[in-house]
Amino acid sequence: MASTADSATSRVAEPSLAARMSRLPSATPTQRRWLVLLGALMLFDQADLNAFAYAAPAVRAQWDLSVGDIGILTSASFFGMFVGSTAGGWLADRYGRKWTIIGATFWYSAFSLACAFAVGMVDLTIYRVLTGAGLQAMVAVLLAYVAEMFPRHLRGRIQALTLAVGLAGIPLMAWFSRFVIPTGPSAWRWIFVLGAGGVVIGIVSIWKLPESVRWQEANGRGASAAPIVEKLEREALSLFGALPEPEEEGPIVKARTSELFGRAYIRRTLVAAVMLTFLAVGFYGFNSWLPTLLVDHGLSASQSLTYTSILSLAAVPGALFAWLFIDRWERRRMLWIIESIVAVLMLVFGFTNSAVVLVASGLLITLLLQTGTAFVFTYLPEIFPTRLRGTGTGFVNGIGRIAGFGSGFLIAGVYAGLGYAAVFIVTAGAMALMGMTVGVFGERTTNRSLEQIATTTDPTEDVQARKAAGRTDEAVSPA
């Protein structure tokens, strides 16, 4: 009888797979290989996401489109992103992270290729909607995957590095456009062919990318995930020697989507949705419209592409810049500071008459926008528990994409009615409000386990409760 009791106690005391993964002191060789694949997936996502911005001046010239028409085409992608983000998160929570990522990659690659064969505005709009759905489904789930498959003290830096690799897709697409588009009136079609290249990485991922350990454990498939964790532990032991004892991170239970709007998570859901709404207007109002605005402001199409290609070079350093402090200082506060600086720089960009100031401010805007993106990509999956991570991240990203959909019409209307400088007043205001929203109302996440963050409803209450209890590393469950 005692033997049976001891056996039961042993089973209860056995640490979870999530706790065993979190104790790893650094990324193992296997995790680094995952990182290469994730970065490559993100690279083609970012290349395709920015494809139409660089093609727009040539498409407009060949098809004799208005600024309003370009606004519709730009907004089409964001409508698709709303659908993809919401559907992708739902699928990932129910059927797994891996196959949602791969399926979404195949989906957007197919419709990006279809864009290359578009014969008019109507079918190109439809293809961009469908491409956008795949793009956002992939990236929303990839963020959750990174948060779940790497140690907590590395989450920010891993997200920043993944983004940095991915952002190389922006200068890749920009310089490809710069040299290809001037070769002929229909040469813009090759941009979308390049954007479809993500299918190659998707095929490799079928064999090389495992399913999320946390997702498998949460869905009763721990036995399938155990060999992955055991392999990581063997690699870590050979590299670092003895491993620290696992710190249990709490039980994982089945999710109800309605929890996003319940007492525990309604604040997080609303704050994240508002934050991403402002971000969509400011970020995409600047990046998606810049080539077209510069042409209308007096530059030739070739000059506009050269200028935006130069600015694109700051994207990768921007994400790498975040590496220096993303896991050191509180993410919500840093986002407030970063986006406030971006807002000021956008005003400088919109009102300067100096070419030097225009280039300098544009480079700094691009750099800091991507620094902020690294923080956002890390922060969003952290604020939802494992059982809701895909759904929650997908839902709030979807709200942001609906804002992006509206921003296409907003920017077109502001430019037509109030002119070039007014566009940058709008984008600057949006970035300032985005930073303030997360800085004042966001969650404290830096250097906390996902389970600690998940079981705390208010960061101020959390700090006060832990101080009162004399603890520095435990979260307080909501009352």
Q: What is the tens place of the pLDDT at every residue in 356-405?
A: 888 899 999 999 998 998 888 888 878 888 777 777 877 887 788 788 87
Note whether residue 478 is domain-resident. Answer: no
Q: Name residue 346's amino acid.
A: M
Q: Per-residue pLDDT tens for 396-440?
A: 877 887 888 788 788 888 888 888 889 999 999 999 999 999 999
Note whether residue 211 is domain-resident. Answer: yes
Note whether residue 348 is domain-resident. Answer: yes
State residue 248's pLDDT score.
Answer: 66
Q: Note whether 426 and 281 are within 8 A (CB).
A: yes
State residue 339's pLDDT score.
Answer: 95
Cα 256–276–386 angle (5° rounding)? 30
State residue 112's pLDDT score.
Answer: 94
Note whether residue 76 is domain-resident. Answer: yes
User: Would you state the structure tokens that stand for residue 162, as one six-digit string?
Assistant: 């993944």
Q: Give the C-alpha distances (Å, rounded to integers) separating 247 from 87, 148, 239, 337, 413.
A: 33, 16, 21, 33, 54
Nearest alpha-carbon partner for 69 in 146, 122, 114, 144: 122
Share of the chain above pLDDT 70, in %: 88
Instruction: Return the minimum-mean-pLDDT range out of 32-36, 240-244, 474-478.
Output: 474-478
State residue 353's pLDDT score.
Answer: 83
204 pLDDT band, cuts 50/70/90, is: very high
Alpha-carbon dihedral sign for residues 122, 126, 129, 134: negative
Residue 100 or residue 250, greater confidence: 100
Note whether residue 250 is domain-resident. Answer: no
d(CA 346, CA 280): 15
346 pLDDT band, cuts 50/70/90, is: very high
d(CA 329, CA 79): 34
Residue 300 or residue 37, greater confidence: 37
d(CA 15, CA 153): 19
Asked if the model's pLDDT at residue 12 lies above 80, the reply is: no
Q: Give the C-alpha distances (Å, rounded to integers) separating 240 from 16, 27, 157.
A: 21, 11, 20
Which of 78-87, 96-105, 169-178 tops mean pLDDT?
96-105
464 pLDDT band, cuts 50/70/90, is: very low
User: Would you state the structure tokens that stand for residue 115, as one six-digit string?
Assistant: 């864009």
Contacts of 229 (CB under 8 A, 6+ apart): 17, 20, 21, 213
Note whether residue 414 is domain-resident. Answer: yes
Q: Note whether 92 and 141 are within 8 A (CB).
A: yes
Side-chain-side CA neighbours of residue 286 (13 Å): 32
Asked if the model's pLDDT at residue 479 lies above 80, the reply is: no
Chain length of the chain: 479
Q: Note whether 384 and 454 are within 8 A (CB).
A: yes
452 pLDDT band, cuts 50/70/90, is: low
Q: Per-residue pLDDT tens for 89-139?
A: 888 888 899 999 999 999 999 999 999 999 999 999 999 999 999 998 998
State mean pLDDT over 208-224: 89
Number of domain units in the chain:
1
Note whether residue 323 is domain-resident. Answer: yes
d(CA 142, CA 179): 31
State residue 434's pLDDT score.
Answer: 93
Which domain, by its residues, includes 194? 22-240+259-463
Alpha helices, DSSP H, located in 313-458:
315-323, 331-351, 355-382, 386-418, 420-441, 450-454
Nearest alpha-carbon partner for 259 in 144, 137, 384: 384
Note whether residue 15 is domain-resident. Answer: no
Asked if the model's pLDDT at residue 65 lies above 80, the reply is: yes
CB neighbour class for 262 (10 Å; exposed up to 12, middle 13-18, buried from 19): exposed
Nearest alpha-carbon partner for 101 in 17, 252, 204: 204
Which of 142-146, 398-402, 441-445 tops mean pLDDT?
142-146
Specify the CATH number for the domain of residue 427. Answer: 1.20.1250.20
State residue 202's pLDDT score.
Answer: 94
Q: Give the C-alpha distances (Å, rounded to integers) separating 413 from 294, 319, 324, 346, 420.
A: 16, 32, 39, 19, 11
State pTM to two decimals.
0.71
State mean pLDDT over 70-86: 84
State residue 207's pLDDT score.
Answer: 93
Average pLDDT, the chain: 82
Q: Is 188 helix (H, G, I), strand (E, B) or coil?
A: coil
State residue 20's pLDDT score.
Answer: 85
Nearest alpha-carbon partner for 201 in 320, 84, 34, 53: 34
CA 81 to chain centre: 12
Alpha helices, DSSP H, located in 50-188:
51-63, 67-95, 97-115, 121-149, 155-167, 169-180
Nearest alpha-carbon partner for 78 in 114, 49, 42, 44: 49
Q: Note whether 67 and 414 are within 8 A (CB).
A: no
User: Would you state the structure tokens that stand for residue 315, as one six-digit string?
Assistant: 């994207």
Q: Note whether 340 and 122 are within 8 A (CB).
A: no
